[in-house]
Amino acid sequence: MRYDERQQPSSSGALVAVIGVGLVLAILAIIAAAGVGLFWVRSKTQQAIVMEQRALAEAHRAEAEAQRTVALSRLEESRRAAIPGSRLNFLVGIDREGNMNVAGKVIGLDELKKRLAEFKDKSHNTFLLRIDADQECPAKHIIAVIKVCDKVGDIDYRIMSSKDADMPADGINAGD
In CATH terms, 85-164 corresponds, of 3.30.1360.150, 1.20.1740.10, 3.40.50.150, 3.30.420.270, to 3.30.420.270
The predicted model gives 81-99 an average pLDDT of 74
Cα distances from 117 to residues 124, 151, 169, in angstroms, run 10, 10, 21
The predicted model gives 67-86 an average pLDDT of 67
Q: Give the pLDDT confidence score for residue 2 in this predicted structure.
A: 53
The predicted model gives 161-169 an average pLDDT of 52
pLDDT per position as a tens digit, 1-59: 455 555 445 577 788 888 999 999 999 999 999 999 899 988 889 999 999 999 999 99
The predicted model gives 76-98 an average pLDDT of 71
Cβ atoms of residues 156 and 128 within 8 Å: yes
Which residues, listed in sequence order, are joined to residue 158 by a DSSP beta bridge?
130
- 103 pLDDT band, cuts 50/70/90, is confident
Q: Give the pLDDT confidence score for residue 25 in this predicted structure.
A: 93
Q: Where are the domains of the chain?
A: 1-82, 85-164
